[in-house]
Amino acid sequence: MTEPLNTSSLEFCQDFKIFLDTSFFSELRDYKINYQKLNSDIIDLPSSNINIFRKTITLSKNSFDSEKIIPGSLLNFNTIEEFKQLDKVKYIKECALNERTRFNFFNVISFADLKKYNLVYWINIPVLKIKGLEFDIYFTDESGINVPEEYYISNFIYTIHNSVFINSSLMEHTKGKVVVPNLIKTYLIHQILIQSACAEYSLYFVDKKSVIKCGKVSAKYNNNKIDVPPFCYEDVAVSGWEKNNENRLIPKFINFSKLLDPIELNKQNVNLNLQLMKWRIKPDLKLEKIASQKVLILGAGTLGCYVSRCLLGWGIYDITFVDHGTVSNSNPVRQSLFGYDDVGKPKAKTASESLKKIYPLCNSQYVDLKIPMVGHIDTIDKTTFTILQREIKKSDVVFILMDSREARWLPTLISKAENKIVINAAIGFDSYVVMKHGNLDNDTRHGCYYCSDIVAPLDSLSNKTLDQMCTVTRPGCAMLASSTAVELLISYIQEGDLSYNQVRSNLNQFTSVTNVIESYKHCSACSNSVVDAYKTEGWSFVSKALSDPKFLEDVCGLTQEHLEAQKILENMEDMFI
């Protein structure tokens, strides 16, 4: 068979360059942390960002979920050692010949150091070679060729059967030679090997929406036309690893930390440890539910400072402080949100500002408020009560961390009536107790801080010596109590109702026990009679209860309990007379 007179040699070149956008690393990081985790399977990595005229392809965040416009793949390793140990020659050949990846325009291998924001990567654009195999092309006068709709997705290259539609800008036609991208050569070689035959292939060069040239391609081996290929896949040689910026055949390295927004960088790093928990240790960890909690911290002292820091560690950033005190000289060494320069400043405001300095994206608020206390007439104020009520209603979780017992009563009552999650923590010299209060809808009917009391809260601050008024405790006690309080909250959010609701620890013997404190029907803070009176009468009931502990005992039924107990004692005395 004689060759057409206008036959030219079909040659191939690789002049496309692939670039990584900064968003690519951010998306790879998110994909690795939240989806891929320890898996290191090859994933599809198409690109939709191609510049035909500049011959560039950009990989960005869209490469992970865009259509397969420019097909590619990514193999991301878990360790740098795995990256180094990969047989690069063997791998590129596997990419070029594997049924899944053989028509990929490019393949990427990488190791992403998620903590340091380093990316080591190497891109290959496979070039298939069979010694002695060449191609010729001649142009025909075919007309009326319909361009497939699929071609217009990328305006790049589209293959179907033995036909290839290619953007005319990708062709260079000089006398006796036609040059097209290497991807065409890869396609032709695969078609020959798959079909075990050397057919005539059609190349349609498209400008806008029309075919402007039609070329017919034929193969020859050692300068001879062939119908059946005398070679197989084992004869295929593959090259195509990109050189780095210094023109060396080694991987590339990028540090993205300087290219990303510092605030966003901080946000991603803060959450890294939490996200890594889901890889292996706790795959079902409910991080989104935990992070969504709005927390109210009553008391910005030693416990409040440590609790807020621990909450940040768990990804809870919506925190409001309530306190009326000021930072004293003795506070900074024990209260982690204050420094020497903060002495004399309002605690709630300073704690909130310090939290924002630690983590700028934290939504930290404050309310300077003196909480009304039972037995303290000077604290009874309706406006203060209304503000406290408002803040509790806005919150999902309330931490009650004040120094005195009577200061905890009103927040306990309001929180119970509003069905909030309440975590209560209190410390002694060498011991502490942490407790989760029961909710209205809690079937187990767990109790509260006051359910073990047989009297209403009283004034515990008046007529006290200095060592009784200050929190005299081993310095490490508050840290342990605070972390236990936060972890108790996290366990509840994660697991739901717990079998226990109190943790008691003693530093003298380094022991901890969990207890179940059941709801007491005559509790001065959470009993049905008290909660119902609060819901019905509101401030009228609260003001009476704050003014007169005896009134509170009458409402909750403790007065009657005392009378019945007294009768029992009298009867017992009569028995021994």
> Using alpha carbons only, what angle is made at residue 322 by residues 320 and 326, rounded to the nearest 5 degrees?
125
Q: CA 161 → CA 146, 188, 305, 469, distances in Å?
A: 15, 11, 69, 88
Question: In sequence order, which residues have a C-beta less than 8 Å from that of residue 42 and are 6 or more positions away?
Answer: 73, 74, 75, 100, 101
Q: What secondary structure does DSSP assign to 349-396, as a single string? A: HHHHHHHHHH-TT-EEEEEE-----TT-GGG--HHHHHHHHHHHHH-S
Neighbours of 276 (CB within 10 A): 15
d(CA 133, CA 482) in angstroms, rounded, equals: 74
Quick one: tokens of 264?
């966003």
Give me the catalytic one of 13, 232, 310, 470.
Answer: 470
Identify the bridge partners of residue 181 per DSSP, sorted by sequence position.
Answer: 13
Q: What letters, b where the CB count within 10 A reaches 16 and e where it falls short, cover 98-136? A: eeebbbbbbbbbbbbebeebbbbbbbbbbbbebeebebb
Query: DSSP 3-state assignment of 425?
Result: strand
Contacts of 234 (CB under 8 A, 6+ apart): none
Residue 470 annotated among the catalytic residues of the structure: yes
Task: Give the E-state strand segments of 227-282 in sequence order.
Answer: 237-241, 252-255
Neighbouring-strand partners of residue 218: 136
CA distance 221 to 133: 5
Determine the Cα–Cα distance for residues 449 and 56; give it in Å rounded to an integer: 67
Q: Yes or no: say if 404 and 460 are a contact pair by the CB < 8 Å rule.
A: yes
User: Do 87 and 75 form a contact (C-beta atoms < 8 A)?
Assistant: no
The single-letter DSSP state of residue 443 is T
Which residues are CB-contacts of 165 (< 8 A; sequence separation ≥ 6)? 147, 148, 151, 157, 158, 159, 204, 206, 211
Q: What angle do CA 326, 332, 334 make, to 5 degrees?
A: 110
- Which of 382, 429, 446, 376 has the alpha carbon at shortest distance from 405? 376
- Looking at the DSSP bridge assignments, the partners of residue 163 are 160, 202
d(CA 15, CA 125): 10
The closest of 208, 176, 261 to 3, measured between CA atoms, is 176
Q: Are 309 and 291 in contact (CB under 8 A)?
A: no
Task: Take residue 362 and report the two structure tokens written for it.
Answer: 């934290």
φ/ψ of 495, rounded to 5, equals -100, -15
Residue 370 and residue 394 in contact, taking contact as beta carbons nearer than 8 Å: no
Residues with a known catalytic role: 470
